[in-house]
Chains A and B, each alone.
Chain A
Amino acid sequence: MLSVSKDMASGDAIDADSTQLEYVRRRHWGRYIASAVILAIVVYIGLAFAHGQIEWTYVARFLTAKSILTGLVNTIVMTVLAMALGIALGVITAIMRLSTNPVLQTVAQAYVWLFRGTPVILQLLLWFNLALVFPSIGAPGLFEFRTVDIMTPFLAALLGLGINQGAYTSEVVRAGLLSVDTGQYEAAKSIGMPRLQALRRVILPQAMRVIVPPIGNELVGMVKLTSLASVIQYAEMLHNAENIYYANARVIELLMVAGIWYLVVVTVLSFMQSRVERFYARGAGRASGRQ
C-alpha cells in the first residue's frame, strides 16, 4: 500500500520536475498487428494469382490491344455522356418534384417510378427496338426518319443508361436539396430572388456537398453499367474483350485485362471526386467530415 501511494504521489503531484517530463504518444499495437496480417493475406492471394492457370503474358499483350483500347474509349465516352444526361435529368426532376406545381410533381414522380421500376437491360432493349413501336420519327411534313436508321447502338445505349440514371440521380439531388436549411430559402427570398434563382445561386451549391459523394458512387457504377450495353452491340470494352476470347478462348486473361482497365478508370474518377468535394466544401469549416 505504501509503495502505491508513493507512486501516485510522484506521478500526480505538481513538482518542480513536471516541466521536464517526457511525453509518450499512444502506441497503436493493434494497428501494427492488423497491418502485418493483412499484408500476409494480400501477398498470399497475389502469389496464388501469379502462379495460377492464368497466362499473364496474354494479359500483358492484350492490355494495349487496339480493340481493347477502342472499347475503353467507348466505355469512357458512354459513361461521361450517360452520366451527364442522368445528372441533367436528375436535377430537373428533383426540382420538379419539390415544386408547388402538382402537374410537375406528378410527372416527376411517374418518371422515377417507371424507370426505377424496370430493369435497365429491358430499357436498353426497348430503346434499341424502338422501331417496333414507332416505325418512323419526325415532325409530319417537315422531316421524317426511319427509326431503325437513327437508333444506333450508341444512341440506344445513351438513352437507356442516361434516362435510367436520371431517375436514380433525381432522388440523390432531392435528398441534397432537402438537406439545406429552410432559412437559406427564406434568406434568398428576402433579397428578392425567385425560386429558380434561389435554387441555382444559393440552394444547389450548398446541396452539392451532400450530392457529390453519392453521385460519385453512381458514376463509378455507371462505368461498369455500360458493359450492359454490349447486349445491344455497343462496342464498349467488355463487349470487345468478349469478341476476342470467343476467338482465342483466353477467357480469364481477357477478363483480367478489362478488370485492370476498369480499376484504372475508377481510380482516376475517385481522385477527381475528391477534388470536386474539396471545391464544394468551401465555407463549410470542416472539409473532410472525419470523426
Chain B
Amino acid sequence: MNLVTQKETTNMSSIVRAVDVRKSYGDFKALQGITLDVPKGEVLCVVGPSGSGKSTFLRCINQLEEINDGALWVNGERVGYRRVGNKLYALSEKQAARQRLATGMVFQRFNLFPHKTVLENVIEGPVQVLKRRRSEAVEEARTLLERVGLGHKCDAFPVELSGGQQQRVAIARALAMHPQLMLFDEPTSALDPELVGEVLAVMRDLAKTGMTMIVVTHELGFAREVANRIVFMDQGQVVESGTPEQVLSNPQHRRTQDFISAVLS
C-alpha cells in the first residue's frame, strides 16, 4: 500500500465503485455503461434475465474479465491499474493476483480442486498464496468448515460430496483468504432444488456477520429476505435499483415487471 492508494481508500466508503463500465466481446456489448456503488457491509443482489451482463460485471470486479471503458475501483484501488501521481500503470500478473486478494469468489459450478481433499482445498490459498503456517491454516480451515456445516468432511474429495456440500466448501475456501468482499456468481443455479436451501443458509449467516456481498442470483425469495438492495440488470445496463420492497413488490420499469412476473409464475 503506497500513500496514494491509502489516501484514496480513506476518501471512499464504497468497496466497489463502478463508473460507466463497458465491456464487449466483438460486436456483442455485454456491459453498456454500468454505474454503481457498493458501500461496505452491503448485501447487494443482482437479478435479471440471462445474458443481461450480471455475471460479466461480477467477473470484471474480480479481473477475470478486463473492462473496455469506464472505471472500476475495488477497495479503493483502480482494478487492473496502479496509480502513481497522475498516471495509471497496468498491473503485472503478480500485482493483479495481489489485488484480487480483496475479493473472494464463489462460482456457479463450484470449481473445487478435484485432486485435493476438502481441507486441502480450503488451506491451499492461505498456505500457498498468503504463506501462512500450515498448522495455523488447518486450524482456521477446520473452524470455517465447521461454520458451513462440513467439519466432518475434511478428508473427503470433492467428487464424494453433493453439489450443495461442494458449494459450501467453495464458500469456506473463499473465506479462508479473508476477503473484503464476496462475489457470488449464481451460486445455487447448478444445484438440485432440495440442496439450494443449505447454501442459501450459509450465505444468510455470512450476511449477518457484516460481510460485503454481491450476489448474482435467481432466488428472489433469498434476495427479498437478505439483500439491502437489489439491482435489476437487462441488456448490459442497470434498469432499476432499490430496496427489495421497491424492486420486487413495486417495480417501476416494464422490463423489471416482466422479468419478475416471469420468474414468479
Contact = CB atoms under 8 A, between A and B. Distances in A.
Interface of A: 181, 183-184, 186-195, 197, 201-202, 205-206, 280, 282-285
B100 A189 contact: yes
B1 to A, nearest CB: 16
A183 B159 contact: no
Nearest to A197: B128
B116 A283 contact: yes
Interface in B81-123: 93-94, 96-98, 100-101, 103-105, 107, 109, 111-117
A193 B101 CA distance: 9
A202 B113 CA distance: 7
A264 to B, nearest CB: 33
15 contacts: A184-B111, A186-B105, A190-B62, A191-B124, A191-B125, A192-B98, A192-B101, A193-B125, A194-B93, A195-B93, A202-B113, A205-B115, A282-B115, A283-B117, A285-B159
Contacts of B113: 184, 187-188, 202, 206
By Cβ-Cβ distance, the 4 closest A-B pairs, closest first, are A191-B125, A187-B111, A283-B157, A190-B105
A191 B173 contact: yes
A59 B116 CA distance: 51
Contacts of A194: 93-94, 96-97
Contacts of B72: none
Contacts of B144: none
A263 B23 CA distance: 59
B115 A192 contact: no
Interface of B: 62-64, 93-94, 96-98, 100-101, 103-105, 107, 109, 111-117, 124-125, 128-130, 157-159, 170, 173-174, 177
A114 B98 CA distance: 39
Chain A interface, DSSP helix/strand/loop, else mixed: helix
A194 B93 CA distance: 6
B125 A206 contact: no
A183 B105 CA distance: 12
Given A187-B111, A283-B158, A284-B115, A192 B105 contact: no
B159 A283 contact: yes
A181 B114 CA distance: 11
Contacts of B103: 190
Contacts of B64: 186, 189-190
A183 B177 contact: no
Contacts of A188: 113
Nearest to A206: B115
Contacts of B130: 192
Given A191-B174, A201-B124, A202-B113, 19 more contacts: A183-B107, A184-B111, A186-B111, A187-B170, A189-B62, A189-B100, A190-B103, A190-B174, A191-B124, A192-B98, A192-B125, A193-B97, A193-B128, A197-B128, A202-B124, A205-B115, A206-B115, A280-B115, A282-B115
Contacts of A189: 62-64, 97, 100
A206 B174 contact: no
B211 to A, nearest CB: 16
Nearest to A191: B125
B114 A206 contact: yes
A187 B107 contact: yes
A201 B115 CA distance: 10
Given A191-B129, A193-B128, A283-B159, A183 B100 contact: no
Contacts of A181: 111
B115 A283 contact: yes
B168 to A, nearest CB: 15
Contacts of B129: 191-193, 197
A153 B258 CA distance: 78
B114 A283 contact: yes
A194 B101 CA distance: 11
B104 A190 contact: yes
Contacts of B100: 189-190, 192
A189 to B, nearest CB: 6
B125 A183 contact: no
Nearest to B177: A191
B207 to A, nearest CB: 20
Nearest to B63: A189
